[in-house]
């Protein structure tokens, strides 16, 4: 035999009740059915009771409303006027309300009688409709079988008497046996109700007492989910949970079942399925005694949106047991439900999490309880901290599993979610954290992605700079988008995009194929607005990418890193600012969980900085660096042969996207200086830009210019100088290279003519090369060589940094 419970929405309309009939029809088992009142009716009954008690005459018109609603339902389903029994229930309802109105008093006893009307009417209509549909149904009045004490409003069941009566009546059960949920009666026939979750409870009593084979809770969702689907788009249904897991999940927000109400079924070990009345083909969630030991660590992530923390603290509490007793007694006497408790082992404070709607009452009750101690400064005045939420990982497999809480707090920390309080029961089935309400959405999503491996991880990019390199980066993202989603479960979205003129934001991601036209129609760019919009979006796994050469944009990094948003950039300005600022940026990223990655600052996409970092972190020591670090300059001296003009080769390098936005930085040697500074710093040595000795190959006249055009004119005038440089080297069979060095603690940059035996001689195109001499690479240096400039390779280096961030938790 199966027990099926249908809630208010499942019997909330004519179509819903027809659907219930179809479900019942299709079952081959003997059924015990428990149904609630028609959706929304119990609330109306409560309202009518209150109106009558306050002496308002119009309570009668609300009774009429309830009557007409049910008459209509009856007529629609049964195509007839309701029978005598129907009107008898209505008459009793009217009589009792009139009594309340006359006395201006609603006793718990009369309230229960009034509230019982909803289930009595719904079951009457359903049973008559079922009969019409050819279903062999018997309607029972639960009040004759479920016997309780006289705690009206929340009556306690007399299981001995209830078992006796139900066992007896079950001997004569038909195929379908319908009981109204929620209602019961005392041994002397006073109507009572079973409190919150009452219909679930009635059904669970029937399932438990009658040893049902299975218990189904029919509702309007497909089952329990891994997280609240309104906040976590990727939340999915849970096929199977243990009782304990279901209780933990339900307690925290997943309001599919009310835990205490299914206790009688749990005690008998009866399996329960949550099913959707409106999608009966869906298998739903099966809840059993056992849990899946070989499945994920986490079964679900639940949350409560509105929480307040109330803390009792003060020096005089330490070692004095009575404080906690008084604290909890005061809360209990004020009828405040405590959701979470933490106490530091210093005993200096006790903190509880409560529903925000209770916070004022809690503060009042506690300040009254501890008035004397507060006045004597032994206890701090009690205040509530509002605008908080609870987030909880739930899963029986977490028990004895090392690293779960580590992973939880690591992911939250990296996303800038500050944790106000933590609680974990010794069952290790639930780890709860209290966080700011504004962070709830981000925290839920980031934990969901971290703990459910099958779930795609979303990465949110905020990019400034859509020039040469920026465009190439977005293009590569477009190309790789599907591959990354399919093979690496990464869903990379651009949320904010800007350049020196315009910007545009879309929290669900800017459509990549149309980004140029969308940005073109965007709003005016301002760095303040850009940051504000990025912070307000408060999205998980946010990465800021600066693809400009702007000092202003580089100046934004400290505040961005402080918000736990990582920064990726090919812009060399921040990493070559003062040494103190550089250290500050690196330290900040350690402190706030965000990272500052600038691999493309040196040799574009070549893995120079990551390799250097691996060497240093693994204990190697860098003694000497020799490198050719400018793609532009390699290209210039490779291309220039004394026939074409030097200035034309510079223009070609710019056109090919090798130069800095301002090519003078390449020609002056400033760009190479910056790169060697970064290499020295990343090797672990203090170095400033001014410390590097620069021997420029430009004639004096080219060092001062008003604009790039002015510079070109001056270079053109000095053509003979460049020709001489070239011919002098060429005559000796040598090639010109601008070499950066770090040797004996000293950095330098200068033009050298290298012969064919030199490792730099054969650098082609825009190649760069770096030689690291280290403790481990003594005789033969470690060599990294390859294209060191160009939009494509730089963009791919930025991409690699983004993936580095995306693939670490
Ligand atoms: N080209 C390469 O081979 C290469 C290699 C490594 C690193 N880089 C670095 O990449 C960065 C970008 O180079 P590019 O060639 O794409 O430059 P670009 O001039 O083509 O584009 C720069 C972009 O930044 C925007 N921008 C400039 N100043 C801004 C400001 N103050 N606020 C907002 N937006 C601003 C511009 O509107 C433009 O969209 C530079 O820092 C460069 O040093 C380039
Ligand atoms: N302008 C730079 C780009 C890489 O930083 C170069 O030519 O090397």
Three-state secondary structure of 623-659: EEEEEECCHHHHHHHHHCCCCCCHHHHHHHHHHCCCC
**Cα 791 from Cα 295, distance rounded (Å):** 45
431: CA distance to ligand 1 center in Å?
45
Measured in Å, residue 694 CA sits from the centre of ligand 2 at: 17
**CA atoms within a 13 Å half-sphere pointing along the CA-CB vector of 177:** 23
How far from the centroid of its chain's Cα atoms is residue 565's Cα?
Answer: 15
Give residue 494 CA to ligand 2 midpoint distance, Å.
26
Helix (H) or strand (E) holding 475: helix 468-488
Cα 743 to chain center, whole Å? Answer: 49
Residue nearest to ligand 2 atom 1, measured at CA:
659
Q: Tell me: pLDDT of 254 over 60.
A: no
- C-alpha distances out from residue 778 to 577, 613, 785, Å: 31, 18, 18
- Give 579's contacts (C-beta < 8 A, 6+ positions apart): 681, 686, 687, 688
Q: What is the DSSP string of 327-340?
A: HHHHHHHTTPPEEE
Q: Is 675 a catalytic residue?
A: yes
672 in Cβ contact with 789 (< 8 Å): no
pLDDT above 60 (res 253): no
Q: Which two tokens stand for residue 789?
A: 């400039």
CATH superfamily of 300-451: VC0802-like (3.30.2130.10)
Q: Is the CB of residue 297 less than 8 Å from the CB of residue 397?
A: yes
Predicted interface score ipTM higher than 0.95: yes
The pick from 472, 572, 604 for probing ligand 2's pocket by mutation, whose C-beta has the most ligand atoms within 8 angstroms, reads: 604
**How many other CB atoms are there within 10 angstroms of residue 641's CB atom?**
12
For the cut 80, the answer to whether the pLDDT of residue 163 exceeds it is yes
Mutate to test the pocket of ligand 2, among 789, 796, 798 (most ligand atoms within 8 A of CB): 789
* C-beta of residue 178 within 8 angstroms of C-beta of residue 218: no
Assess whether the C-beta atom of 500 lies below 6 angstroms from ligand 1: yes
Distance CA 787, CA 539 (A): 35
Specify the CATH superfamily of domain 458-597+800-806.
Answer: NAD(P)-binding Rossmann-like Domain (3.40.50.720)
**470 ligand 1 Cβ < 6 A:** yes
Give the max Cα distance, the chain.
120
Distance, CA of 719 to CA of 721 (rounded, Å) = 5
Confidence of residue 223 (pLDDT cuts 50, 70, 90): confident
Q: Whole-prediction pTM value?
A: 0.79
Specify which residues 625 forms β-bridges with.
742, 772
Tokens of 420: 């106000």
Read off the tokens for 483. Answer: 């591959």
- Any atom of ligand 1 within 6 Å of the Cβ of 463: no
Collapse the DSSP code of 730 into the 3-class scheme (helix H, G, I; strand E, B; otherwise coil) and give the result: helix
Domain parsing of the chain, residue ranges: 2-220, 300-451, 458-597+800-806, 608-789
Q: Which residue has the tokens 């999490």?
A: 353
Q: How far apart are the first and last CA of the chain?
A: 49
Please tell me the number of the ligand nearest to residue 551's CA: 1
Q: Which residue has the higher pLDDT, 23 or 399?
A: 23
Question: CA–CA separation, 138 vs 175, rounded Å?
Answer: 8
Q: What is the CA radius of gyration of the chain?
A: 37
Give the ligand with the smallest distance to the CA of 599: 1
Phi, psi of 31 (to 5 degrees): -120, 145
- Which atom of ligand 1 is closest in space to residue 671's alpha carbon? 43
Query: Considering 675, 741, 766, 785, which one is annotated as catalytic?
Result: 675
Q: With cut-offs at 50, 70 and 90, classify the pLDDT of residue 426.
A: low
pLDDT in tens, 776-797: 998 899 999 999 999 999 999 9
Output DSSP code: residue 306: E
Residue 458 token pair: 């979303």
Q: How far apart are CA 480 and CA 176, in angstroms?
A: 58
Q: What is the mean pLDDT of residues 379-402?
A: 90
| DSSP string over 388-434 | EEEEEEE-GGGTT-TTHHHHHHHHHHHTT--EEEEEE-TT-SEEEEE
Which CATH class for the 608-789 domain? alpha beta
For 622, list phi and psi in degrees, rounded to 5.
-90, 125
Q: What is the mean pLDDT of residues 201-230?
A: 92
- Please indicate whether residue 571, judged by its CB atom, sits closer than 6 Å to ligand 1: yes
Q: Using CA atoms, how far apart are residues 182 and 198, in angstroms rounded to an integer?
A: 4
Distance CA 114, CA 112 (A): 5
Residues 451 and 298: beta-carbon distance below 8 Å: yes
Q: Which residues contact 83 (CB under 8 A, 6 or more apart)?
A: 128
CATH for 2-220 (2.160.10.10, 3.40.1160.10, 3.40.30.10, 3.40.47.10): 3.40.1160.10
Which of 637, 660, 662, 670 to mutate for ligand 2's pocket (most ligand atoms within 8 Å of CB)? 660
Mean pLDDT, residues 707-733: 97
Residues with CB under 6 Å of ligand 2 are 604, 630-632, 658-660, 666, 671, 788-789
Ligand 2 centroid – CA 120 distance (Å): 81
Residue pLDDT, tens place only, 657-688: 999 999 999 999 999 999 999 999 999 999 99
Do 222 and 186 touch, CB atoms closer than 8 A? no
Q: How far is the CA of 736 from the centre of ligand 2 (A)?
A: 17
| Residue 525 alpha carbon, nearest atom of ligand 1 | 33
Indicate the pLDDT class of residue 181, thresholds 50, 70 and 90: very high
Most confident of 25-29, 62-66, 197-201: 62-66
Are the C-beta atoms of residues 264 and 194 closer than 8 Å to each other?
no
**Distance between CA 715 and CA 679 in Å, rounded?**
30
- What is the SS3 assignment for 266-317? HHCCCCEEEEECCCCCCCCEEEECCCCCCCCCCCEEEEEEEEEEEEEECHHH
The Å distance, Cα 706 to ligand 2 centre, comes to: 22
Structure tokens belonging to residue 610: 């990551």
If one counts every other C-beta atom within 10 angstroms of the C-beta of residue 320, the result is: 11
């Amino acid at each position: 035999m199966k027990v099926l419970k249908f809630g208010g929405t499942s019997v909330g309309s004519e179509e819903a009740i027809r659907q219930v009939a179809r479900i019942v029809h299709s079952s081959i088992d003997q059924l015990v059915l428990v149904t609630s009142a028609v959706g929304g009716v119990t609330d109306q009954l409560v309202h009518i009771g209150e109106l009558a008690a306050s002496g308002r005459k119009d309570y009668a018109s609300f009774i009429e409303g309830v009557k007409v609603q049910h008459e209509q339902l009856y007529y629609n389903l049964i195509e007839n006027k309701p029978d005598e029994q129907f009107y008898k229930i209505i008459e009793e309802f009217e009589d009792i309300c009139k009594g309340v109105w006359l006395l201006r008093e609603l006793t718990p006893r009369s309230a229960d009688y009034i509230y019982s009307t909803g289930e009595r009417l719904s079951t009457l209509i359903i049973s008559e409709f079922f009969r019409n549909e050819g279903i062999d149904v018997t309607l029972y009045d639960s009040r004759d079988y479920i016997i309780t004490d006289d705690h009206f409003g929340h009556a306690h069941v007399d299981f001995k008497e209830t078992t006796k009566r139900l066992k007896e009546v079950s001997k004569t059960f038909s195929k379908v046996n319908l009981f109204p949920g929620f209602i019961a009666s005392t041994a002397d026939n006073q109507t009572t109700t079973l409190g919150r979750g009452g219909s679930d409870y009635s059904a669970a009593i029937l399932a438990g007492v009658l040893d049902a084979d299975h218990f189904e809770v029919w509702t309007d969702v497909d089952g329990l989910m891994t997280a609240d689907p309104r906040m976590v788009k990727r939340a999915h249904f849970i096929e199977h949970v243990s009782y304990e897991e279901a209780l933990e999940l339900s307690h925290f927000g997943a309001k599919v079942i009310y835990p205490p109400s299914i206790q009688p079924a749990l005690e008998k070990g009866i399996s329960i399925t949550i099913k959707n009345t409106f999608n009966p083909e869906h298998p739903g969630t099966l809840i059993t005694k056992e849990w899946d030991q070989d499945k994920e660590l986490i079964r679900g992530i639940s949350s409560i949106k509105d929480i307040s923390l109330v803390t009792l603290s003060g020096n005089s509490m330490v070692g004095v047991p009575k404080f906690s007793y008084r604290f909890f007694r005061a809360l209990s006497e004020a009828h405040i439900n405590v959701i979470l408790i933490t106490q530091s082992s210093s005993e200096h404070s006790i903190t509880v999490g409560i529903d925000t709607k209770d916070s004022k009452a809690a503060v009042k009750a506690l300040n009254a309880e501890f008035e004397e101690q507060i006045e004597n400064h032994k206890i701090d005045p009690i205040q509530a901290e509002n605008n908080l939420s609870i987030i909880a990982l739930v899963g029986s497999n977490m028990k004895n599993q090392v690293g779960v809480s580590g992973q939880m707090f690591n992911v939250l920390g990296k996303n800038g979610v500050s944790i106000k309080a933590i609680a974990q029961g010794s069952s290790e089935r639930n780890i709860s954290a209290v966080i700011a309400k504004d962070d709830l959405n981000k925290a839920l999503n980031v934990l969901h992605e971290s703990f459910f491996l099958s779930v795609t991880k979303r990465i949110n990019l905020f990019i400034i700079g859509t020039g040469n390199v920026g465009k190439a980066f977005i293009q590569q993202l477009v190309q790789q988008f599907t591959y990354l989603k399919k093979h690496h479960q990464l869903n990379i979205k651009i949320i904010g995009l800007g350049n020196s003129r315009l910007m545009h934001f879309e929290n669900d991601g800017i459509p990549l194929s149309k980004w140029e036209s969308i940005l073109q129609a965007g709003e005016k760019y301002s760095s303040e607005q850009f940051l504000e919009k990025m912070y307000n979006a408060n999205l998980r796994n946010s990465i800021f990418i600066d693809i400009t050469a702007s000092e202003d944009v580089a100046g934004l990094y400290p505040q961005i890193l402080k918000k736990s948003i990582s920064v990726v950039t090919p812009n060399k300005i921040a990493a070559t600012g003062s040494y103190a600022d550089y250290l500050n940026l690196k330290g900040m990223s350690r402190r706030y969980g965000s990272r500052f990655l600038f691999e493309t600052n040196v040799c574009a996409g070549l893995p120079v900085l990551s390799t250097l970092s691996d060497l240093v972190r693994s204990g190697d020591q860098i003694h000497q660096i020799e490198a050719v670090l400018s793609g532009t300059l390699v290209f210039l001296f490779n291309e220039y042969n004394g026939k074409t003009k030097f200035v034309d080769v510079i223009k070609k390098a710019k056109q090919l996207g090798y130069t800095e936005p301002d090519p003078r930085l390449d020609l002056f040697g400033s760009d190479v200086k910056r790169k060697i500074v970064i290499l020295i710093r990343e090797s672990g040595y203090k170095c400033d830009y001014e410390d590097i000795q620069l021997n420029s190959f430009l004639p004096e006249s080219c060092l001062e210019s008003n604009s790039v055009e002015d510079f070109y004119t001056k270079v053109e005038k000095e053509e003979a100088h460049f020709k001489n440089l070239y011919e002098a080297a060429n005559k000796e069979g040598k090639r010109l290279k601008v070499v950066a060095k770090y040797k004996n603690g000293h950095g330098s940059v200068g033009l050298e003519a290298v012969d064919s035996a030199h490792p730099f001689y054969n650098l082609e195109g825009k190649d760069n090369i770096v030689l690291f001499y280290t403790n481990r690479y003594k005789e033969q240096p470690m060599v990294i060589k390859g294209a060191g400039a160009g939009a494509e390779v730089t963009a791919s280096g930025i991409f690699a940094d983004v993936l580095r961030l995306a693939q670490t938790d």
